[in-house]
Amino acid sequence: MEHIIIIGNGIAGVTAARHIRKLSDKQITIISAETDYFFSRTALMYVYMGHMKFEHIKPYEDGFWAKNRINLIRGYVTQVDPVKKELIVGNSRIFQYDKLIIATGSKPNKFGWPGQDLHGVQGLYSKQDLDLLEVNAPNNQVCRRAVIVGGGLIGIELAEMLSTRNIPVTFLVREKNFWDGVLPQGEAKMINEHIQEHHIDLRLETNLVEILSDDKGRARAVVTDKGETIACDLVGLTPGVTPNVGFLENSGINLGRGVLVNRFLETNQPDVYAIGDCAEQGEAIGKRRAVEAVWYTGRMMGETVAQTVCGNRIPYNPGHWFNSAKFFDIEYQTYGWVFSDRTKTEEEQHFHWRHAQEKICLTVAYERSSRRFLGINTFGIRMRHEVFDRWLNEERSADHVMEYLVDANFDPEFYHRHEKQILADYNSQMGTKIRPARKSLKRIFQHN
């Protein structure tokens, strides 16, 4: 019987395993180093914040794997030999495979800062990081101040986590505004305000220079490029992640930033595939990034590769970009492409609306010449994925999106609706006279 080995039990690896099992009787082994069982990495923060226990973020019962004949091995793969079709776990255990799926995820970036390996300095990626955070920052007596370095999605999560335990946080962000390499300026500025309202000491355009040690090898302070020394007991390093592929150097598997794959998620070596955060697309897929470290793309790649290894070779087709996140209590969603002021082209125009009092806003991106709708970001308004997918497929105009915006709204009943104000602002900025359509369930579900 064909033996499929999957390295990594994250969302990408376990999705591949589950779908291979659905499609076939093949022998399946998952080898992974971090935990015995798959857990939801995106929910780690809720464990620290006390909303859930670690057990609650394991989507499958422990017996699920044996029941589905998926063999789990806890161990670190140190070498892969694609010619002999074998790999080594730890120092000596050799496993033979017929097909190999690499799903080893990411690792947190470290940029060689002096002091980055001191006690009390850590990232937030793994279960071990969560456990370490309980040691480094159980409360505000042990951790009197934390400094977080790197203003992305994980940095703001860590800030929220620590502030739920009343630990004062200083947040060093290299950019002019929070996450403004991704968000348009209006949104990035709104999130700056929101962070500060949560009593986070946000330092924009500020870089870490060095982390100072006490006489026991523990971090005691950071020095910034503004010449300041900030005393702290924890330094959270959250300046992004990189594919976790170091162990494959010299294996003969082509690497770029990640494991290089084609549209079928195949590497240069026969019967070796890569999926999830560690995969790098060799061929661009539209405007998508070559490495996409997000949950749902890992799941989609897992489903796709399962088809291919089971004989139905299909290309990876992620469709329109979408994503969601949370900035403290503000929900963020994005559909299609809305580039930041720093990264957008001349052709991409933005209509931005912000609520006069509350932290609610949206940005609609459209093509200057044709007004074709390109994408939308919303903060504090929940939208329907299928509706935006359809409008993007149908290449609707921004005017159409504004007219029918009510169809896309997915906020629960009794939430305040903002379409009228949004449309009034749009009409006044664009010189249009669009009247809002009435919500129609028939239209919303027409093609589903």
Ligand X SMILES: Cc1cc2nc3c(=O)[nH]c(=O)nc-3n(C[C@H](O)[C@H](O)[C@H](O)COP(=O)(O)OP(=O)(O)OC[C@H]3O[C@@H](n4cnc5c(N)ncnc54)[C@H](O)[C@@H]3O)c2cc1C
d(CA 362, CA 385): 15
Cβ count near 111 (within 10 Å): 12
Asked if 424 and 418 count as a contact pair (C-beta separation under 8 A), the reply is: no
Minimum CB separation from ligand X for residue 11, in Å? 4
Minimum CB separation from ligand X for residue 120, in Å? 19
Q: Would you say 184 or 298 has its CB closer to ligand X? A: 298
Kindly tell me which residue out of 293, 364, 381, 408 binds ligand X, with binding defined by CB under 6 A.
293
Angle between helices 295-309 and 11-23 (to 10 degrees): 30
Q: Would you say 41 or 220 has its CB closer to ligand X? A: 41
Answer yes or no whether residue 380 interacts with ligand X by CB under 6 A.
Answer: no
Element (H, E) at 326: strand 322-327
Minimum CB separation from ligand X for residue 347, in Å? 28
Kindly tell me which residue out of 175, 266, 277, 403 binds ligand X, with binding defined by CB under 6 A.
277
Kindly tell me which residue out of 157, 280, 303, 419 binds ligand X, with binding defined by CB under 6 A.
157
How buried is 170 (Cβ within 10 angstroms: 0-12 exposed, 13-18 middle, 19+ buried)? buried
Minimum CB separation from ligand X for residue 243, in Å? 9
Element (H, E) at 422: helix 419-430
Angle between helices 153-163 and 185-197 (to 10 degrees): 20
Answer yes or no whether residue 34 interacts with ligand X by CB under 6 A.
Answer: yes
Which of these, 343, 363, 345, 341, lies nearest to 429 by C-alpha position? 363
Answer yes or no whether residue 405 interacts with ligand X by CB under 6 A.
Answer: no
SS3 91: coil
SS3 71: strand
Kindly tell me which residue out of 4, 6, 10, 269 binds ligand X, with binding defined by CB under 6 A.
10
Answer yes or no whether residue 105 interacts with ligand X by CB under 6 A.
Answer: yes
Answer yes or no whether residue 72 interacts with ligand X by CB under 6 A.
Answer: no
Answer yes or no whether residue 106 interacts with ligand X by CB under 6 A.
Answer: yes
Minimum CB separation from ligand X for residue 105, in Å? 2
Using the rule CB under 6 A, give the single segment among 99-107, 181-189, 252-260, 421-429 that binds ligand X.
Answer: 99-107
Answer yes or no whether residue 376 interacts with ligand X by CB under 6 A.
Answer: no
Asked if 349 and 366 count as a contact pair (C-beta separation under 8 A), the reply is: yes
Answer yes or no whether residue 125 interacts with ligand X by CB under 6 A.
Answer: yes
Which of these, 187, 191, 230, lies nearest to 211 by C-alpha position? 230
Kindly tell me which residue out of 44, 255, 274, 306 binds ligand X, with binding defined by CB under 6 A.
44
Kindly tell me which residue out of 76, 264, 328, 410 binds ligand X, with binding defined by CB under 6 A.
76
Using the rule CB under 6 A, give the single segment among 40-48, 50-58, 342-350, 367-375 that binds ligand X.
Answer: 40-48
Kindly tell me which residue out of 104, 170, 308, 334 binds ligand X, with binding defined by CB under 6 A.
104
Block residue for tokens 């589903």? 448
B/e letters for 240-258, b = 16+ CB within 10 Å, e = fewer, are ebbbbbebbeebebebeeb
Residues 6+ apart with CB under 8 A from 240: 108, 109, 150, 152
Answer yes or no whether residue 303 interacts with ligand X by CB under 6 A.
Answer: no
Minimum CB separation from ligand X for residue 256, in Å? 16
Cβ count near 432 (within 10 Å): 15
In this structure, the strands spanning 322-327 and 330-336 are: antiparallel
DSSP label at 254? Answer: -
d(CA 56, CA 45): 12
Sheet of strand 99-102, all strands in order from the earlier edge strand to the far edge: 70-74, 27-32, 3-7, 99-102, 272-274
Answer yes or no whether residue 8 interacts with ligand X by CB under 6 A.
Answer: yes
d(CA 194, CA 206): 19
Which of these, 378, 390, 383, lies nearest to 445 by C-alpha position? 390
* Count of all residues that appear for the chain in the document: 448
Kindly tell me which residue out of 37, 54, 64, 247 binds ligand X, with binding defined by CB under 6 A.
247
Tokens matching residue 61: 């019962």
Using the rule CB under 6 A, give the single segment among 2-10, 16-24, 214-222, 253-261 that binds ligand X.
Answer: 2-10
Answer yes or no whether residue 187 interacts with ligand X by CB under 6 A.
Answer: no
Minimum CB separation from ligand X for residue 80, in Å? 9
Q: Would you say 230 or 294 has its CB closer to ligand X? A: 294
Using the rule CB under 6 A, give the single segment among 18-26, 167-175, 249-257, 290-298 that binds ligand X.
Answer: 290-298
Q: Would you say 298 or 351 has its CB closer to ligand X? A: 298
Q: Would you say 87 or 398 has its CB closer to ligand X? A: 87
Using the rule CB under 6 A, give the single segment among 29-37, 219-227, 266-274, 417-425 that binds ligand X.
Answer: 29-37
Where does this chain bind ligand X (CB under 6 A)?
A: 7-13, 31-34, 41-42, 44, 76-77, 103-106, 124-125, 154, 157, 244, 247, 276-277, 293-296, 298, 325
